[in-house]
Amino acid sequence: MRSIKALAPARIKWAIELLELETKHNVFEIGYGSGVAAQHICAKLGRGTYQGVDQSAAAAQAALARNSAYARGGRAIFEHGAFHAEAHEPALFDRVLAVNVNAFWTDGGQAARDVRRLMHNKSRCVLVFQPPEKAERAKIARAVKKRLAPYFGEVRSQMRTIGGASLVAIIASVAAPRAAQPKRKAA
């Protein structure tokens, strides 16, 4: 029996768009909830894989049920528990995603340090938040960028309102973007 693809909220759709997924990517999600993002991500992956962690037993059960075909096929792993970077191979993931995971702006930078451990030089981390008040977006962006900056070469934020949902995204890359090389004059 084929599972029905769940409609993704605006924040999840935008987060997946910002990941700039390729079929070969290995993706790690922190706080996968009911597995809606995982379902959409797995559908885009070819030889890539998905792995996620969530502290909620109910979320783990729902995500596994929604994505059972991907899990049985070895393309998705759903862990139940707290996120601990040391439990994963370093530099394994091309993309890291977290939606509405407050640890990135409320802790002292531990979450940023842990996420960086999972990434290699061409990796990208996308964090999306939907604060209750539109005015909170700038505050969240500043706090998250400050915590990510010591560990990432490029950290930028974007704000968007989609269907009435006020969103903020922080996109971090390990390697800093290359500066444009000046053109040489022909001799």
Residue 178 maps to a domain: no
* Structural domain total, the chain: 1
Tens-digit pLDDT profile for residues 17-60:
999 999 999 999 999 999 999 999 999 999 999 999 999 999 99
Residue 44 maps to a domain: yes
Contact call for residues 49 and 93 (beta carbons, < 8 A): no
Residue 5 maps to a domain: no
Domain that holds residue 36: 10-173
Residue 155 maps to a domain: yes
Contact call for residues 125 and 171 (beta carbons, < 8 A): yes
Tens-digit pLDDT profile for residues 65-103:
999 999 999 999 999 999 999 998 889 999 999 999 999
User: Cβ atoms within 10 A of the Cβ of 114, count?
Assistant: 19
Residue 42 maps to a domain: yes
Length of the chain: 187
Residue 183 maps to a domain: no
**CATH number of the domain within which 99 lies:** 3.40.50.150
DSSP summary character for residue 182: P
Residue 180 maps to a domain: no
Tens-digit pLDDT profile for residues 106-164:
888 899 999 999 999 999 999 999 999 999 999 999 999 999 999 999 999 999 999 89
Tens-digit pLDDT profile for residues 3-19:
445 578 999 999 999 99
DSSP character string of 121-157: EEEEEEEEE--SSTTHHHHHHHHHHHHHTTT-SEEEE
Residue 16 maps to a domain: yes
